[in-house]
Amino acid sequence: MTATWVDKIKWFVILVLIQGVIISQVQISRYAVPLLYVVFILKLPSDTGRKSLLFYSFLIGLCVDVFGNTPGLNATASLWLAMARPLLLRWQTSRDAAESFVPGIKSMRFAPYLRYVLPSVLLHSAVLNVIDAFSIAKASDVAIATLADTAVTVVLIMIIELVGRKK
């Protein structure tokens, strides 16, 4: 195993533990639930293969589901994000398809990274909340929860990215 795989495993474990142990216990009202584990999917290298991306996304979603006792909700939303990620990333970069990079403020600059993170988290949150509600009668609650989850998550991701950039 190379150092990059060790780093990925560390990030995976840390994000699952933070999401499962801390965030699941501390919610800002019933709507704004930070979905911090999404960082793992968003920060995978741009040249990560489709099968690997789907596998890692499913695995982290499933681990969060096990901690949160939410059978398949996070895994499903993570798979949707994994399917959309290449397109969302391609829209925000002017790089050659052969060039590999890790998405972030350092590699993409602030505005393109934010334009990559925002729709990614919005998609993930929307899928998660729609599946959780499983009812059209609660459309306003789903919309509020989706927007609140997205706002809190994007703010946390950008804080993590900016703090990590200082190093």
Q: What's the token pair of residue 22?
A: 């801390």
Q: Apex CA 87: angle with CA 82 and CA 93, to 5°?
A: 120
Domain ranges in the chain are 3-165
How does residue 6 score in pLDDT terms, banded at 50, 70 and 90? confident
Q: How far is CA 108 from the centre of its chain?
A: 17
Nearest to 103 by CA among 17, 60, 40: 40
pLDDT of res. 157? 94
User: pTM, whole model, 2 decimals?
Assistant: 0.88
pLDDT tens profile 95-112: 655 578 899 999 899 999
Q: Mean pLDDT, to the nearest integer, of 109-122? A: 96
Q: Mean pLDDT, to the nearest integer, of 14-20? A: 85
Q: How far is CA 166 from the centre of its chain?
A: 22
Nearest to 125 by CA among 32, 20, 13: 32
Q: What's the token pair of residue 75?
A: 């895994």
Q: What is the mean pLDDT of the chain?
A: 87
Can you tell me the distance from the alpha carbon of 148 to that of 40, in angstroms, rounded to the nearest whole number? Answer: 20
Task: Look at 15-24, 58-67, 102-111 and tell me which has the smallest mean pLDDT.
Answer: 15-24
